[in-house]
Homo-oligomer: A and B are copies of this chain.
Amino acid sequence: MDWNQLLAGRTSLMRRSAVRELLRLTNRPGMISFAGGLPAPELFPVAEVRAAADQLLDQHGSKVLQYGETEGVAELRDWVATSLSRPGLTLSRDHVLITTGSQQGLDLIGRVLIDPNDKLALENPTYLAALSAWRPWQPQFLPLTCDEDGLTSDAIAKVPGLRPKLLYTIPNFQNPTGVTLALERRRQLIARLAGSGTLIVEDDPYGELRYRGEALPGLLELAGGPEPQLLRLGSFSKVLAPGLRVGFVVGPADLIEKMALAKQALDLHTATFNQWLVLELLRNGVVDRNLSKLRAAYGERCSAMLEALENHLRGAATWTRPEGGMFVFARLGNGVSATTLLAKAVERGVAFVPGGEFHVDGSGEQTLRLNFSHASPEKIPEGIRRIAEALAGLS
C-alpha cells in the first residue's frame, strides 16, 4: 500500500512523493483530511462554469479548441496586466505569461534561471513543490528564518551578503505556515535587494483569500513593477478551480520572453479552452462573486480550526493564527515526531502533512501543516479531536 511505503520510505523519496501520496489518501471514505491543499469542491461555481463553457463553445467554438500562442491568450494576458496595474505601476501583456497552473511558473524559473550550485534564498519552511521543481538543477538552498510576521528583519538584512540568484517568498498566508509578511518587512526586503542582482520571486496564490485584517500591498506593488528584478506568480486554482490548471507569471518583459521560449518545449501552450473559460469568468464577475463566498466559508473554517486547536491541543502544541489562505501550522510541544503522530492519526481517520517535508534544513520534525479549506466546518473540530487523541496516546 502506498501509504505504508511512504512512511517506511527514505527521506528523499518521501519528499518527492509526499504531496502526491497524500492527495490519494484524502479519497478514503470516512477520512477527515487536513492534508493536501484542496479547495472545497462544494464551493466551485459549477453552474457558472457550465454556462461560460456553453457560451464560449457556442460563440467561438473552433477558436477555443485550436492551438494558441505560447505566451497565452492575448486577452487574458491583457486582463492580468490591467488588473494588477495601478497609479505608478503600469503593466502590459508583454509582462505576462500564462502558465499551466502556477506550478509551471516555478518549473520555468528552474529551466530558465537556475544553474548548478546557484544559491536560492527561501523561507524555511516553504512550499514543497517549489523545492521539487528546482532540485533537478542542483541549486543550493539557503534557508531564511521566519517568525509570526514572516521573514525576520535579521534574515532580510543578511540576504544581500549571501548574493543569492533569487529570493523566493510567499508573502500572504504562506504555505505551509499561514503566516503573512509584515508591511515594514516587505518594504525592508524591497529596499535591501534594490540593485543587488537578486531576483525576487513573489508567489501569491492565496493573496485574495483574506478573512481578517487589512490587505497589504504586494512586493510587486511596493517595487513599482516587475522591472528589473521581480517575478510574481499567480494562479486561478484557489480563486476559481484548480482542475483548469491556469496560472500566470508577471515579470520583466525580457525574462517573460525567455520563459515563453522555454515553455514552448514544455507543452506548446496552456490549454486554449481553459484560458478562455477563465477569462470569461473574470469578465462576467463570477470570479469576484465566488471570492466573496470563499472568504466567508474559509474564514468560518479557519476560525473553527483555531477554536478546535484551543479546545483540544492547548498546552500540547502551539500554532499560527493565519488571517487568510488555507493552512494553520502547528508545533508539538512534547518531543513527539509529527510523522509518528501522523501514522497514529491516520488510524483514527484524520490526515495532515508532517512539517518536516517543507523544511530545507532537516528541521521541523515536530511540526505539522493543517489545511482548513477542504473539510467542512462541522468536521474540523472532530478531526482536531482525533489528532489530540492520537497525540495523547503517544505521550
User: Given the complex, which residues of B lie within 8 Å of A68, measured CB to CB?
Assistant: 243
B66 touches A101 (CB 8 A): no
Contact of A50 among B58, B67, B133, B266 (CB under 8 A): B58
Q: Nearest chain B CB to A78's CB is how many angstroms away?
A: 17
A42 to B58, CA, bound (A): 13
Q: A243-B271, A261-B16, A266-B104 are in contact. Are A65 and B50 (CB under 8 A)?
A: no
Q: A132-B264, A267-B104, A273-B274 are in contact. Are A57 and B46 (CB under 8 A)?
A: yes
Residue A165 interfacial (CB < 8 Å): no
User: Given the complex, which residues of B lie within 8 Å of A241, measured CB to CB?
Assistant: 65-66, 273
User: Given the complex, which residues of B lie within 8 Å of A49, measured CB to CB?
Assistant: 57, 61, 65
Q: Which residue of B lies closest to A237 (CB)?
A: B67
A70 touches B267 (CB 8 A): no
Residue A244 interfacial (CB < 8 Å): yes
A100 to B274, CA, bound (A): 13
A284 to B251, CA, bound (A): 43
Complex interface residues of chain A between 239 and 265 (CB less than 8 A to chain B): 241-245, 260-262, 264-265
Q: Number of copies of this chain in the oligomer?
A: 2
Q: Nearest chain B CB to A184's CB is how many angstroms away?
A: 34
Q: Nearest chain B CB to A391's CB is how many angstroms away?
A: 28
Residue A20 interfacial (CB < 8 Å): yes
B245 touches A270 (CB 8 A): yes
Residue A44 interfacial (CB < 8 Å): yes
Q: Which residue of B lies closest to A261 (CB)?
A: B16
A345 to B243, CA, bound (A): 43
Contact of A268 among B17, B101, B261, B268 (CB under 8 A): B101
A65 touches B46 (CB 8 A): yes
Contact of A243 among B54, B132, B264, B273 (CB under 8 A): B273
Contact flags A129-158 to B (C-beta < 8 A → 1, else 0): 100110010000000000000000000000
B65 touches A265 (CB 8 A): no
Q: Which residue of B lies closest to A36 (CB)?
A: B67
Q: Nearest chain B CB to A293's CB is how many angstroms away?
A: 14
A242 touches B62 (CB 8 A): no
Looking at A70, A111, A241, the one whose CB has the most chain B CB atoms below 10 A away is A241
Residue A38 interfacial (CB < 8 Å): yes
A96 to B273, CA, bound (A): 24
Q: A42-B62, A46-B61, A61-B44 are in contact. Are A101 and B267 (CB under 8 A)?
A: yes
User: Given the complex, which residues of B lie within 8 Å of A320, measured CB to CB?
Assistant: none
Residue A283 interfacial (CB < 8 Å): no
B129 touches A265 (CB 8 A): yes
A50 touches B46 (CB 8 A): no
Contact of A242 among B23, B67, B133 (CB under 8 A): B67
Looking at A39, A65, A241, the one whose CB has the most chain B CB atoms below 10 A away is A65
Q: Which residue of B lies closest to A38 (CB)?
A: B67
Q: A50-B58, A271-B274 are in contact. Are A24 and B69 (CB under 8 A)?
A: yes
Contact flags A89-131 to B (C-beta < 8 A → 1, else 0): 0000000000011011011000100000000000000000100
Residue A41 interfacial (CB < 8 Å): yes
User: Given the complex, which residues of B lie within 8 Å of A67, measured CB to CB?
Assistant: 23, 36, 38, 237, 242-243
B136 touches A111 (CB 8 A): yes
Q: Nearest chain B CB to A41's CB is how many angstroms away?
A: 3
A100 to B244, CA, bound (A): 12
Q: A61-B44, A243-B272, A267-B267 are in contact. Are A69 and B20 (CB under 8 A)?
A: yes
Q: A50-B57, A107-B265, A243-B272 are in contact. List 7 more A-B contacts (CB 8 A).
A: A38-B66, A38-B67, A50-B61, A100-B266, A107-B267, A133-B265, A267-B267
Nearest 3 CB-CB pairings of A with B: A46-B61, A243-B272, A41-B62
